[in-house]
Structure formats: C-alpha cells, structure tokens
Amino acid sequence: MTLTGHSLIAGQNVVGDGKTTFGFNPATNEALEPAYTLLTEEQLKAATTAAKEAFPSFSTLDPETHAAFLDAIADNIEAIGDELIIRAGQETGLPAARLQGERARTTGQLRLFANVVRQGDFRGVRIDPAIPDRTPLPRADIRQRQIPLGPVAVFGASNFPLAFSTAGGDTASALAAGCPVVFKAHNAHPGTSELVGQAVTKAVKDAGLHPGVFSLIYGPGASIGQALVSDPAIKAVGFTGSRAAGTALMKTAAARPEPIPVYAEMSSLNPVFVFDGALKGDVDALAAAYVTAVTGSSGQLCTSPGLLFAPEGEAGDKLAAAVARAVAACAGQTMLTEGIAGSWTAGTEALGKADGVELLGQGRPGDTRNAPAPTIFGTGVDQFVSNHVLHEEIFGAASLVIRYKDVQDLLKAAGRIEGQLTASLHLTEADYPTAAPLIPVLEQKVGRIIVNGWPTGVEVGHAMVHGGPFPATSDTRTTSVGTLAINRFLRPVAYQNIPQELLPEALQDTNPWHLNRRINGDVVPAAEKAEVSA
C-alpha cells in the first residue's frame, strides 16, 4: 500500500494546509518518509461535518450489514500483511512479535464486536406492554432501547499503534455502537495509522456506507485535538494517553454549550501486594516474573506494575535481593519516542532523590537510542504514604518496592493510593484471612483485582474491565476493553404508545432482528415467540 502523507477525510486524501511532520525511528532518531501534512482547524470541519451527515444512515444499519462491515475491517487489516508490522516497528521500536500479537488483538476485537452486533443484547430492548384496565390508573405501552450517541472523536495512543489506535478498541466499540468516528492519529506513528486508515476506508466503501462513517486526521495535538472535542458535531470522545492531556480534553468537553462525555484512560501504578505465603515458594521465579512485567515493552504499558508491596523481615529481604538480581540482568529496550525516554529519565531522577527512597537494582542501557536502563527503587510504607512524588506514574521500565509490617500498613497504603486500573495479590490459602480486609478497600480503588497473576496482558472478552477510578480513567463506570466498552457510546430512549408502524425494528412486536428482549421484566430469548402482552 502507498503512503500518501495526508489525512483521509470521508474517503478522500486531503493535503493539510498546516505544517508537516514525520514519524521517527526511536532506535536512531531518524525521520521516516513520507512527510505528513497537518490539517488546520478550518479543514477539520470537513471531517466532523461528514461524520454528522453519515450518522442517520449508519446508526440505523441492520445487524448483518453492520457486523459484516466490522468483519471486513479486520480482513482488510490482515491483508496488509508484513508491511504493517514493518512500518509499525520502524515508528515505535517495538519488536515484530509484540506487534503481530497486537494486530491479532486488533482484528480479534473487531470480530468480537461484529458478533456483539449480530447478537444484539447491547440494544437493551425492554418492553412494558400497556395495561389499559389497570386501576387506579392504566399503564401505557412503554418500550426502551439503547441508541448511538452520534459521531465520536477517538485519539490514538502512543504505546499501542494498533490495538489502541486507528481501528483499536475505542474505534471498534464506537463503530459497533453505530457511531461514525473521526480518528486523530498519534504523530509518533503516522504511517501505521495511515495503513490501517486505508483498510477502514476500503471497508466503508465496499459496504456502500456513507463515506463520513470514518475519517483519519493528522494535526497538532493540542490545537486540532481541542478543536475536535469542541466541535458541536462530536458527541463523545475516546482517549488513551497522559493524565495532563486527558484532563485538558475533559475540561474542553465540559465547557461546551452542550457538554459531552470524555472516556479517557490515563495514569495507573497498578500496585502488587505480596503476602507471606507467596514467599515460601520460589522467590527467584516471583522476582523474575515481577521484573518481566515491569520491563515488558520497555514498561510502556498502562498495566505495568509501578508498585510492589513486600513484607519486612528475612523473607521480604530475599525477595528484594532477588528483584535486584533480576533487574540487573536486564538491558534497556527502545522506548517509543525521544520525548517519552526523556520523561522517563526525569521521573526516575525525581523518584531517586525523594526522601527515604533508595536504588534497589538497575539494569544496563540498551544498544539503541532512547533505551535507558530498567530501574527499581525501594522505600517504606510511611514514606510512601507521606510523599506524593512516590505516587506519580513513571511511564517506562521503573517501579518501586515498598516494605510493610502488617495488614494495617497495607490498608493504610491502599487507602492512600489514587484510582488505578488494577491491583494484584500474590498469596496462598494461608494468607486469605490477612488479605480479606484488603479486598473491599481495593474495590473502591481499582477496576480489576488479580490473584497470583500480573496485570500486563489484558484479555479482550465479555467480563473484562479495563478502567478504574480517576485518574486511571475519567469515568469509573466504564471500560475501554471488552464488549462492555460499547455502552460508552449509547444512551437509552423510551417510546410510549408508539404505533407499530412507527417503531424502530428493535422494538416491534414481530422482533424482525431476532433480539433477546426483556418483556414485563422477564428475559425472553430471541428464539422464543413471545407474545407482547401484559
């Protein structure tokens, strides 16, 4: 496929009237061709206007046409072949195996949402039939379904050039809901974004959909991003990135004449709690697994464990020593950009200078540019509780081991942490009484609790929650991974005493879309021919 260096607006290549930018190979800091032209705020209007025009027809697609469209995007991404993996590797420094897995996750979640569309439960059909002879007052016929919000702005993430990018989870779930997408490409991997954008655009055209269903735009992050969120055609935002950028978008969305929801996944330290029983096993293996979770993808994962709580005493000392040995054997991996590597350096320097913090272990720098040495620090609970610097996320291969005396220390520390995506507990059955009081505290702090596992590696399925209280996300009620992510882009509408001829298909008595429905409060499977009556 040929890279043009231009935005894709409603199926057309559009040369930006603004400045130009390049993708860079972070292993060498060399610019990658082609140059990408950036849109002005005036040019952005073409994308949002087209999305608004596409909404009426796209939001009312029949399930099979809709699902086949999502399947086609997945097929088209796979058809790009090795070209996609090579370009993504050049722009991010990520190894081919990691990117191949990410591509599989991207296409897998598109096909998962296609199945969600075919099955139809996300439409939330509820029917309370009329009871005209009810006393003292009759009941009207009331029916409810979930409808799409409208065009959605999606921002690409730096650390997932495929799975949280052009056709990633936010785009897939918004399209599955029936919402056109205006996608703001991350300037760190513009070529990867364009390749996938071409695949989505082809699927739109082949399905005969309005071309405004999808647009891919390039522009300065601050100005174009803010203009996109401010545009009255946009009805919701999906974002994965830094806390500063996420909160800036939230403020813009809240200040609009018509405020809109921003579903932002931001910062997380993902604490790990190690109990005494876990230290009676293979401590070296436990330490190695922890260091692997910290250093995988150069630590540039939203679920990388930035904190590990270990008990004081001899067993905890052995774990700390094993962690130091494990990280000393590690070499730095190329980080996504020169700027991200610089932020990592600044963050580790600040943490290393904090009172009561010591260097526990350090690896060696990698052989490429922007590949700093993985680093793990150590401190105590009192220092952690009292110093806000120890609560700041360091995006990259760095973590902090915190030593605790007893469960009261753990409860104190857990109560102090901000909202997180995950918390992990390593324990044996003998530790259950000690760990039990921690569970309800963590429920208020995180979106996912893990036992005897590590937070990295997020399963894309029906039960997954990839979210959490602020600042992990902007809305603790939602998830950005899994089929529940579709709910972010829907809202309920009730229809009272509407004639059958005017009802949408999902609510008609004949159930032409073969949906599971809740009638008079009882779930009626699509396969059953239930009479809609009181």
Active site residue 265: yes
Residue 512 has a CB neighbour count (10 Å cut-off) of: 10
Q: Determine phi and psi for 476, rounding to 5 degrees.
A: -70, -10
In the structure encoding, which two tokens stand for residue 473, read together? 């996300």
Distance CA(237)–CA(489), nearest Å, equals 9
Given the residues 302, 330, 393, 418, the one annotated as active site? 302
- Annotated catalytic residue within 91, 265, 393, 418: 265
Residues 6+ apart with CB under 8 A from 101: none
CB distance 341 to 304 below 8 Å: no
State how beta strands 30-37 and 272-274 pair. unpaired
**Residues 479, 89: contact at Cβ < 8 Å?**
no
Report yes or no: 7 and 48 within 8 Å, Cβ to Cβ.
no
- 179 carries an active-site annotation: no
Q: Distance between CA atoms of 324 and 210, rounded to whole angstroms?
A: 57
Under 8 Å between Cβ of 33 and 194: no
Report DSSP state, residue 206: H
Per DSSP, the three-state class of 273 is strand
Asked if 159 and 335 touch (Cβ cutoff 8 Å), the reply is no
What sections of 1-128 are H helices per DSSP? 41-58, 63-80, 82-92, 96-119
The set of catalytic residues is 265, 302
